[in-house]
Amino acid sequence: MTEVNITFAKEFFLLGFSDLPNLQEFLFLIFLIIYLSILMGNGLIIVITKVEPSLQTPMYFFLGNFSFLEICYTSVTLPRILTDLWTQKRIISFLGCATQLFFILILGVTECFLLTVMAYDRYVAICKPLYYSLIMNHKMCVWLVIGSWTIGIPILIGLTYQIFSLSFCGSNKLEHVFCDIPPLLKLACGDISAEVFSIYIDAGLFAMFPCIFIFGSYAKIIATILKLPSANGRYKAFFTCSSHLMVVSLYFVSACISYLMPKSSQSSATEIVLSLFYTIVTPVFNPLIYSLRNKDFIMAMRKLLPKCV
């Protein structure tokens, strides 16, 4: 019998951009600008949707919650990336990695459900306008937001425990910029078929079903819009919905490719790019897509900013 020398990981090294030693300062500056832009852009949306009376509607209530979620989402990963780029240590403890992964998963699931809720809001507003105020009352909106934040917690606690119950033997070097499931599975030894099956089941529950519901809602929305007699009404309805569809497409496409493609078919660079896309790029574009394409929001911003100055 051949003896195998196995060492079990107690901490991980996040290799990330370590293969770009000459670009560390440049990358730090880029990610710092991105993080500050996310904080200011989404923070501005939260403030304006809270204080402007004309924006006290379900659509902007969900948008304010979505912007808060984007700030939380990026705050789980970007400060860590900035610290690693600045200190060059790149070490994260076993518990720290598990905690980071759990919050990435729960905030990602919350984003899926909040996007679904926003699609449902648009569906009711366009397809059932006479019942809109009755269906989307304040109590219903609050419960939809609470449900979006909490519905996945029990299952994702179990999934996180399942992932970190694996034996990470041999190398403890994660070829990534933060703790995520695909790079962690690459370090696991032994049979991981049960964990992979759980990931596919959870991805179906928390990503594919919401995605199908969203695009199903928009199929009905588009069918209703095409029946509108006024060309101006059709244009306004399409314009309002297109912003949400852009955010949905950016998030779901990159997240589904990252989690559902076989890990053997993805390079480390591809995994990093896809992960950064759905955790960072979407929050950056969120304020631009929703504010600069929204006439009501621009008018509210023009009213508020001079008062602040």
Q: Which of 16, 165, 140, 40 is nearest to 89 (CA)?
A: 16
Q: What local confidence, expressed as pLDDT, does residue 308 receive?
A: 56
Phi, psi of 11, deg, nearest 5 = -155, 165
Question: Is 300 a member of any domain?
Answer: yes
Domain coverage including residue 295? 11-308
Question: Is 4 a member of any domain?
Answer: no
Question: Is 5 a member of any domain?
Answer: no
Cβ within 8 Å of residue 146, ≥6 positions away: none
CB-neighbour burial class of residue 274 (10 A; exposed 0-12, middle 13-18, buried 19+)? buried
Q: What local confidence, expressed as pLDDT, does residue 175 receive?
A: 83
Cβ within 8 Å of residue 232, ≥6 positions away: none
Cβ within 8 Å of residue 225, ≥6 positions away: 126, 234, 237, 238, 241
Q: How many C-beta neighbours within 10 Å does residue 50 have?
A: 12
- Characterise 77 by phi-psi region: left (phi > 0), alpha (psi -120 to 50), beta (else): alpha
Alpha-carbon distance of 169 to 69, in angstroms, equals 35
Q: What local confidence, expressed as pLDDT, does residue 4 receive?
A: 41
Segment 168-184 mean pLDDT: 82
Q: Measured in whole angstroms, how far is the alpha carbon of residue 12 from the centre of its chain?
A: 24
CATH number of the domain bearing residue 52: 1.20.1070.10
Alpha-carbon distance of 117 to 217, in angstroms, equals 11
- How is the chain split among helix, strand and coil, in percent rounded to 5? 80, 5, 15
Q: What local confidence, expressed as pLDDT, does residue 125 receive?
A: 87
pLDDT digits (tens, 9 = 90+) for 260-299: 665 555 567 777 877 887 788 778 877 777 666 667 777 7
Alpha-carbon distance of 242 to 157, in angstroms, equals 34
Which tops the pLDDT comparison, 229 or 222?
222
What's the pLDDT band for 65 if we cut at 50, 70, 90? very high
Q: Measured in whole angstroms, how far is the alpha carbon of residue 221 from the centre of its chain?
A: 24
Cβ distance 201 to 188 under 8 Å? no
Segment 94-122 mean pLDDT: 91
Q: What local confidence, expressed as pLDDT, does residue 293 receive?
A: 61
| Range scoring the smallest mean pLDDT among 56-70, 93-107, 173-187, 258-272 | 258-272
Question: Is 260 a member of any domain?
Answer: yes
What's the pLDDT band for 36 if we cut at 50, 70, 90? very high
Question: Is 3 a member of any domain?
Answer: no
Question: Is 299 a member of any domain?
Answer: yes
CB-neighbour burial class of residue 106 (10 A; exposed 0-12, middle 13-18, buried 19+)? buried
Which tops the pLDDT comparison, 263 or 138?
138
Radius of gyration of the chain (CA): 21
Number of independent structural domains in the chain: 1
What's the pLDDT band for 6 if we cut at 50, 70, 90? very low
Residue 211 pLDDT greater than 70, yes or no: yes
Instruction: Give the pair of three-digit tokens for residue 129.
Output: 């306008």
Helices (H), 52-180: 58-87, 94-127, 132-135, 138-150, 153-164
Segment 38-48 mean pLDDT: 89
Instruction: Give the pair of three-digit tokens for residue 169.
Output: 């033997």
Q: Measured in whole angstroms, how far is the alpha carbon of residue 286 from the centre of its chain?
A: 11
SS3 per-residue string spanning 147-212: HHHHCCHHHHHHHHHHHHCCEEECCCEECCCCCCHHHHHHHEECCCHHHHHHHHHHHHHHHHHHHH
**One-letter amino acid for residue 170 of the chain:** G
